[in-house]
Amino acid sequence: MSEPVLSVRDLRVEFAGRRGVLRAIDGVSFDIARGEVLGVVGESGAGKSVTGLAAIGLIDPPGRISGGEILLSGLRIDNLPPEEMRKIRGKRIGMIFQDPLTSLNPLYRIGDQLIETIRTHLDLSESTARKRAIELLAEVGIPAPDKRMEAYPHEFSGGMRQRVVIALAISAEPELIIADEPTTALDVSVQAQIIALLRRLGRDHGTAVMLVTHDMGVIAETSDRVAVMYSGRIAEIGPVRDVVQNPLHPYAKGLMGAIPTLSGDASKRLVQIEGSMPRLSAIPPGCAFNPRCAFAFDRCRIERPQPIAVGAQRVACHLYDTAHAESPR
């Protein structure tokens, strides 16, 4: 097995508030291999975006990484000085945000922004950087790229702006791209094009991609593996086909059961997960999901479950601990 591009080990992220310290990420661990797309899914507030921001070194005060390690191709990056992290961010790690307008300066032409980004991270002349910028726009599917270089962000549609942001993210040929809800604001047809583009990055460039989203359809179409997060923890992680078709954790089962399908019994009702995700200040002891879980027993309310290997999946659930008689089936 080759070394993973991104390796996160027991990550903890805290935010200091007036009522004390709130732990947003609590012991998250995962790897992303070269050319692999890892989907990270869960409800709002599960900690998906914070995990991505931690990996790229963008946790601002009062937030901080309070424990664990983040390694990029074997190099620990969570403890680097800000100046060193800035050199890695953009060159070795690219970021795609949900709203492309937050990544583009409305006062500068698209071409100028691309050229500046390329020359910041690569030792290229102005003319060579311009040629590369045109090639990047063509690669992400923007027609007449040489002409669109002179356009401003407001002259592009939402889907085209997102393509420009992807071009910016891959301009320095990074090892890792973190995509935070990259298709949320786009219509379905444009979503499909962006999904195909993200998959092609891994296939053609060997780029590792961490795809943060709440859309299981996007996960199923794009990802190789999926991590299901709940209250700052990973409830289940495994190959996307296994997790979608045979989820193990009760929360993952609820998520998958809430996805409508075109086949099967039309009279079958969609699954509803009762309740809501707890506030950071009120995460229950034991398994964070236990107040909403139909399978919870005494141990779930006292002891936090550790990840257990079940085939190719890993699930943090006491139901799968062979030391206990309870069965999830």
- pLDDT at position 36: 94
CA distance 314 to 272: 24
Any idea which residue has 């310290």 for tokens? 21
Q: How do the pLDDT tens digits run along the chain, 329 residues long?
A: 578 999 999 999 999 988 889 999 999 999 999 999 999 998 888 999 999 999 999 998 899 999 999 999 999 999 999 899 988 988 899 998 877 777 899 999 999 999 999 998 889 999 999 999 999 999 888 999 999 999 999 999 888 898 899 899 888 889 999 999 887 767 777 778 888 888 887 788 889 999 998 888 888 888 999 999 999 999 999 999 999 999 999 999 988 877 666 665 555 666 778 888 999 889 999 999 999 999 999 999 999 999 999 999 999 999 998 765 444 43
Strand order in the sheet with 208-212: 93-96, 176-180, 208-212, 37-41, 225-230, 233-239, 313-315, 308-310
Q: What is the DSSP letter of 230?
A: E
- pLDDT at position 327: 44
**Are 224 and 240 contacting, i.e. CB atoms less than 8 angstroms apart?**
yes
- pLDDT at position 218: 84
CA distance 162 to 141: 11
- pLDDT at position 268: 63
- DSSP readout, 47-72? SHHHHHHHHTT---TTEEEEEEEEEE
- pLDDT at position 74: 93
- pLDDT at position 44: 87
**pTM as predicted:** 0.89
Any idea which residue has 């979503």 for tokens? 191
Q: What is the DSSP letter of 202?
A: I
The residues, ordered by sequence, that sit 6+ positions from 296 with a Cβ below 8 Å of its Cβ are: 287, 289, 290
- pLDDT at position 264: 58
- pLDDT at position 329: 39
- pLDDT at position 328: 44
